[in-house]
Amino acid sequence: MRKWRNHWLQESESGDMKKPKKHFKPEVTVAMCKECGYCVEVCSQEVFEPASGLNSSGYHYMVVKHAENCNGCLKCFQICADFAISVEPEEDPARAEATGDQTTSAPGN
């Protein structure tokens, strides 16, 4: 791996340089979701699916089916009228280990 302009590039076997795929963690707040289905409609990666149960408000809700497919486009976050979806980037464990990065919080935070 080489660092170039604040981006980590991985060298493939053929010698070409490419950016590693970023990983994202979409989450649905069950208590806030009303299964409107907008997230399913805008997500081309098939990340969400309806759950079989009900939430505390008596609504069916959506669950994250394939988080590994999430590309971080935030369409689901933007379309959700109930603010029930969050999408956070995940640190690639291999990159963190290679660079020596340690994720820790300061005392008192």
Q: For each of the domains in the chain, give its residue range(s) and CATH number, in order of start.
A: 20-92 (3.30.70.20)
- pLDDT (0 to 100) of residue 90: 87
Q: Are 76 and 47 in contact (CB under 8 A)?
A: yes
- pLDDT (0 to 100) of residue 20: 65
Indicate the pLDDT class of residue 105, thresholds 50, 70 and 90. very low
pLDDT in tens, 28-72: 999 999 999 999 999 999 999 999 999 999 999 999 999 999 999
Strand pairing class (60-64; 48-54): antiparallel
CA 46-43-37 angle, to 5 degrees, is 90
% of the chain at pLDDT higher than 70: 65
Indicate the pLDDT class of residue 22, thresholds 50, 70 and 90. confident
With 80 as the cut, is the pLDDT of residue 91 above it? no
